[in-house]
Structure 1
Amino acid sequence: MVRISIPLLTLPASGGSTVGTVAPSYGGQTGGSGWLGKRVYSLEEKVAKIYQKHEADEAREKAAREAEERTKREKDAEERRVRKKNEREDFQKSMKKKLSESLDKVYKAIDGKKSTEGDKMGKLKATIHDMQRRLHVTGTSSDTVAQVSEVDELSWLRREQVEMKIAADKRLSSLEDVVLALQRQREDAKANAEKWKSEALRPSNKRGSIAIEPTPTTNAKWWARTTPLGTPKRHIEADLKGIVERHHMEVEALQALRISEMNARKESEAEIDRLKESLVRLKMVQRTGTRGTDLKSKLDEAAGKNDNAVNEPASSARKGKKKAVSWSVSKTVDKDVFVLANRRNLRGKNKDAIMTICKNEGVVYTTLEGTKEAIVQARMAKTFNGDGGKNNKGKASVPVEVSEDGDESSVKTTHDDLTLS
């Protein structure tokens, strides 16, 4: 029997290397049954060639992809450089344009100023030249005529100055008189307004009217050149009427504000008193578990024991034992306290307990919390007779059972399953 050893297929190294494969070697005889070995050898050579071709194709594709990506990156970089260059050039152009416009404005302003200064200088030069020409022309006349004209002109200027001074003095004096008259009228108006105010604020005022002195006429002296003005009597009366009306409006507003403040204060005080009473009632309800002793019931019981000592000889054997004595303590529980106590009582109960309470009290079960609230509302309606807490002035009585030695045995309300702790 001929043994044929088939070597493992050796693959070429990655990276596009073209290292050849090792030719397989077969042991044993080559003749006779060596066809299989030759067939295997030829197949391995074909597979090696196919693999080499595949590797070469992949290497070419990879190189082509890398070249394409490199070209794309270079193209993108070139586009970015061109875009940045264009943006920079546009920015520089805009800056140059703005600077040139600003410089043009400055140049225009400077040129305009120079031109206006040149025009002024030309006008001044022409004026000086004209004055020199006139002076040269008048210099040919006689000195006497020139002196006489100068004296006349000087006297005329002085006379005009004196007249202007006199007119200004008259005008100032008339204005002072007018100012004094207006000040007196203002003082009179203020005095009348104060009278109206004091009369309006007077407690015994019923009609709100006083006698106002007539507005005095002005005693200012008027010059003939000025036009006298009439006394603004109607204007002053209208102003006084407006002042009085505004004062009345202010007084009414203050009274309304004071009334609203007093009402708010009374409401707040009533609310505080109501809250205090609620707190006191709540504290009383919370203190229902404290020790207490009904002396009257104890005395009555002792008297009854003494009277019945002969008929009941065995009663003395139970002296030391506690006896539950039921007595009702009238506790006023507000509706809010009642609701809070019921909610606190139902808070820790599970679904089975709530369903039992619903069955006993005739409440339809929906959800746990909703059913608890429905139970509380039903109990409140039953306890307060459905009048929303108006029965017995919005309060209910709570019977409390106390043992003989003062310990509280149980605290019960008029409703089932309500326990105040």
Structure 2
Amino acid sequence: MKEMQELRAGRDKDKELLVGLKTEIGLLRKEKEQSAEETHVWMNEALRPGNKRGCISMTPPEVDNRTRCRVRIMESPSGALRDELKKLKDMEHCTLREVEVLKQRRTAEERRRMEAEAEKLVAEAEVAKLREQIEKLTTEAAAAPTGGTNLKSRLEAATEVGGSAQKTVRRGKPRSTLGRVGSDDGSAVDANDKFSFLQIERKRLRAWKNSGLEALCKQKGITYRTVEMTADEIAEMRVDARFGKKDKETAMKATRLGDEGGGGIPSCSGGTEASTEVEDIPSDSA
């Protein structure tokens, strides 16, 4: 800082010196012009007709070129100015280098920011795509167990099985098979309908495996345990909803007997009797 102040002070002195030189040069020019005008007036007066000196042509004295011009000795400021100009050029060069470095850094930061934004957009697009796929899979898994058309067709098929069994009981002799409930016409038809419906529901629910049963348990508010236990529980709930709860014991006993392949169920008289399965038997006319 001290050197800069000294340089500035020297530069101010040089400027003052230059201003003084310019002023002195201006004064010398004015003196020269005045001298030229006076010489011109004197020549005109000398050459004027009727002058007492006659018509002698008089010229001003010539200047001897061999004489040395008057030189004013002064301190030359070239050394200080040269050093100051060199320092100023160095400072300008350093400033330009700093500007270039800052521009390069800014360009690199802008490029990195744009690349980060592009990567962020790509990641957001991938996340959105994955979310859509997850929502689609969740919707399909939740909608799969609630298919009403298939259940309706199966229930209609079970009803048709019950109707054909009723017609068979009326037309021919029923075939006795262990594991099914058989008594009078009305109770046999109801038991067969419940048993068929329960078996169909158990088979269909067990085919859904874990994913379908878990979604169905969430809808029904049931705790999921295993595939078989959960399928049996949901099948019993659907049997109760369709046929009522008063004959639930008979339907479950018939199911257990049908799974074991033998046994009997208690009769009204306190003993056991073989259960009968009512099946379609072609009539003699057929």
Q: TM-score range by the shorter chain?
A: 0.3 to 0.5
Which structure has more RCO (C-alpha within 8 Å, separation ≥ 6)? 2
TM norm structure 2: 0.35
